[in-house]
């Protein structure tokens, strides 16, 4: 069995960050994937990851999205691509 995905929502905790987390949780539920979700709110740490626009999404140490709130379907595609690696 695979270890849970390590997911980080990158951003200050604004409305868009919360929307990204909600879409991510829904995508995880629909895919039946296990994950641990954390939040990175420190701008220096976010910038060090190469994210210049929030919200961002990091999955297993890889930034997969930044600067917008994706649809649930898009998050599912992103998670599926990471799972396939």
State how far the alpha carbon of 9 is from the alpha carbons of 1, 30, in Å: 24, 19
Q: What gap in Å lies between CA 46 and CA 32, rounded to an integer?
A: 28
Three-state DSSP at 38 gives strand
Q: Which of 4, 13, 14, 48 is catalytic?
A: 14
Q: Which of 7, 9, 17, 46 is catalytic?
A: 17
Our answer to whether residue 17 is catalytic in this structure is: yes
Strand-strand pairing, 62-66 and 35-40: unpaired
Our answer to whether residue 14 is catalytic in this structure is: yes
Which amino acids are annotated catalytic? 14, 17
């Amino acid at each position: 069995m695979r270890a849970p995905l390590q997911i980080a929502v990158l951003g200050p905790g604004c409305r868009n960050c919360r929307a990204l987390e909600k879409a991510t949780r829904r995508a995880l539920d629909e895919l039946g994937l296990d994950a641990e979700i954390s939040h990175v709110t420190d701008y220096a740490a976010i910038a060090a990851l190469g994210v210049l626009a929030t919200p961002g999404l990091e999955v297993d140490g890889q930034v997969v999205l930044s600067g917008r709130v994706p649809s649930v379907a898009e998050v599912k595609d992103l998670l599926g691509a990471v799972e396939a690696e």
